[in-house]
């Protein structure tokens, strides 16, 4: 069943308001943000691992991209603490789990088929640079190719920020918050905007730390 499968529409969800549902694996729950019900099973979701839970070993034919929100996520490639950004490309294989429990924001089957680039970044240890074209904005690049641009952006308090979303974009708030289109976004809010949509955000007294993925919604891999 599709969930928020119409990519021509703006979608805003506060993930903490979504009920947890069981996954096929005991001890692993999820909150669906979007899903295209096809052979690739394209999905964006929040996943919670109970302590000592894991999935069976498996191959990600369409790739897996995630951020560790709480705890330590463990797999064949390492132990990834809160603040880690991971890309396991198509054909990668692992057995994910967590000894003490964790929560991740994860996107499945949303890579270009020929992408073979692994990315393992502790976002707590990587710097940022000021955006020369936008006052009050600092940027940490995470991944970029001809298909998409993935980055962290730090928005100073009480700042108006414009974001280029020509090719569509997703926003996931890691800290702080902002208003957009008259609606409030807070920690762990998720916003997806369609192609040619214009985003103008206004931060409050806390500013905002936002994960942004842009450009990717014009590709056939997403529809």
| 129-222 homologous superfamily | Jelly Rolls (2.60.120.10)
Specify the domain boundaries for CATH 2.60.120.10 within the chain: 18-122, 129-222
pLDDT at 1 over 80: no
Question: How high is the pLDDT of residue 152?
Answer: 98
Q: Which helix (H) or strand (E) holds 17?
A: none
Name which of 43, 30, 60 is nearest 222 in CA terms: 43
What CATH number has the domain spanning 18-122? Answer: 2.60.120.10
Q: Among 16, 13, 139, which Cα is nearest to 69's? A: 16
Report angle CA 10, 15, 19 to the nearest 5 degrees.
120
Is 50 exceeded by the pLDDT of residue 213? yes
Please give the structure tokens belonging to residue 5.
């499968």
* pLDDT tens, residue by residue, 74-122: 998 889 999 999 999 999 988 898 999 999 999 998 988 899 999 999 9
Average pLDDT over the chain, rounded to whole?
92
Q: What is the pLDDT of residues 158-184, one digit of tens each?
A: 999 999 898 999 999 999 999 999 999
CA distance 91 to 20: 29
Task: State the pLDDT at residue 140.
Answer: 97
Q: What is the CA radius of gyration of the chain?
A: 17
Q: What is the pLDDT of residue 39?
A: 55
Is pLDDT above 70 for 191?
Answer: yes
Read off the pLDDT of residues 46-84 as tens digits, 9 standing for 90 and up.
Answer: 999 999 998 888 888 889 999 999 999 999 888 999 999
pLDDT at position 222: 42
């Amino acid at each position: 069943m599709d969930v928020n499968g119409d990519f021509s529409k703006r979608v805003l969800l506060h993930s903490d308001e979504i009920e947890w549902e069981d996954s096929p694996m005991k001890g692993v729950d999820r909150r669906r943000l979007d899903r295209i019900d096809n052979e690739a099973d394209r999905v964006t979701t929040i996943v919670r691992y109970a302590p000592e839970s894991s999935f069976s070993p498996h191959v990600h034919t369409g790739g897996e991209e995630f951020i560790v929100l709480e705890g330590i996520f463990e797999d064949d490639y390492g132990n990834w603490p809160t603040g880690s950004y991971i890309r396991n490309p198509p054909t990668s294989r692992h057995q994910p789990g967590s000894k003490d429990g964790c929560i991740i924001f994860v996107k499945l089957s949303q890579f270009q088929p020929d992408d073979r680039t692994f990315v393992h970044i502790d976002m707590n240890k990587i710097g940022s640079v000021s955006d020369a074209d936008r006052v009050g904005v600092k940027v940490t690049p995470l991944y970029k190719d001809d298909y998409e641009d993935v980055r962290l952006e730090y928005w100073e308090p009480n700042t108006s920020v414009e974001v280029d979303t020509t090719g569509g974009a997703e926003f996931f708030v890691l800290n702080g918050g902002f208003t957009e289109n008259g609606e409030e976004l807070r920690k762990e809010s998720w916003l997806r905007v369609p192609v040619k949509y214009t985003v103008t955000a206004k931060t409050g007294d806390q500013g905002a730390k936002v994960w942004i993925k842009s450009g990717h919604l014009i590709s056939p891999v997403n529809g």
